[in-house]
Amino acid sequence: MEKAIQGSQVEGYYQNQRPEMLPFIPAGAKCVLEVGCGEGGFSQLVKSQLSAETWGVEIDERAAKAASKKLDRVLCQSFNSGIELPHHYFDCIIFNDVLEHLVDPFAALDFSRQLLNSKGVVVCSIPNIRYFHILVELLFEAEWRYRNDGILDRTHLRFFTERSIKRTFDELGYHIERIEGLHPSPSWKYRLVNTLLLGRIADMGYTQFAVVARPRN
Q: Which amino acid is at 41?
A: G
Distance CA 145, CA 137 (A): 9
Residue 1 reports pLDDT greater than 80: no
**Is the residue at 73 inside a domain?**
yes
Share of the chain above pLDDT 90, in %: 89
48-72 confidence digits (pLDDT tens): 999 999 999 999 999 999 999 999 9
**Is the residue at 134 inside a domain?**
no
146-191 confidence digits (pLDDT tens): 999 999 999 999 999 999 999 999 999 999 999 999 999 999 999 9
**Is the residue at 145 inside a domain?**
no
pTM: 0.91
CATH number for position 64: 3.40.50.150
Please state the domain count of the chain. Answer: 1
Instruction: Return the HEC string of 63-103.
Output: HHHHHCCCCCEEECCCCCCCCCCCCCCEEEEEEECCHHHCC
Query: What is the domain range of residue 177?
Result: 13-128+153-184+207-215
**Is the residue at 98 inside a domain?**
yes
**Is the residue at 168 inside a domain?**
yes
Angle at 208 between CA 43 and CA 35, to 5 degrees: 30
**Is the residue at 199 inside a domain?**
no
**Is the residue at 50 inside a domain?**
yes
**Is the residue at 2 inside a domain?**
no
